[in-house]
Amino acid sequence: MTKPVPDPPLEPTTPLTEALHAEDLAKNREAIKRALDFYLSPEASKPRPPSSMFLVHPGIDTESLLAHACESLASASTMASDFADQLSRPQRNTALAIQQIIMLAELAVNRALDRVDPQA
């Protein structure tokens, strides 16, 4: 079988073209490495300074923090229960599930509070 189009002629290689080709390959490797590093190894983000609008005093003791968290969770549980009473069946179940999660968090905070300040 004969070919209708001849093979392309071989380009003569010179040391200069080989050096340019090797330089292009090195540049491509560097670009690929930079791209992979950018997407796969991002720089650690700098920590943001805390907002001064809602700031917990750094010197407050753990017992006070736990007591406040317990009171906040109790209030959220009461609000979720009251809200669930006003809903129909499917939404009521969701609100009661949220209330149960809040109650579990409240139990955990109470247990931590007992460990900080045991009530004999």
Q: pLDDT tens-digit profile of 35-61?
A: 888 888 777 778 877 677 777 788 888
What is the rounded average pLDDT for all residues in the chain? Answer: 84
Are 100 and 71 contained in the same domain?
yes
Are 39 and 66 contained in the same domain?
no
Rg (CA), the chain: 34
What's the pLDDT at 9?
Answer: 64
Give the CA dihedral 104, 110, 112, 117, nearest 10 degrees: 180
3-class DSSP state of 4: coil
Sign of the torsion angle spanned by Cα atoms 26, 32, 37, 38 = positive
22-45 mean pLDDT: 85
Reported residue count of the chain is: 120
Query: Among 60, 68, 77, which residue's Cα sits nearest to residue 110?
Result: 68
Is residue 54 within 8 Å of 46, Cβ to Cβ? no
Count up the domains in the chain and report the number. 2
What's the pLDDT at 54?
Answer: 77
Within a domain: residue 18?
Answer: yes
Question: pTM higher than 0.85, yes or no?
Answer: no
Residue whose token pair is 């001849």: 6
pLDDT digits (tens, 9 = 90+) for 58-114: 888 888 989 999 999 999 999 999 999 999 888 999 999 999 999 999 999 989 988
What's the pLDDT at 71?
Answer: 93
Instruction: Name the residue range of residue 31's domain.
Output: 14-43
Is residue 80 within 8 Å of 102, Cβ to Cβ? yes
Within a domain: residue 6?
Answer: no
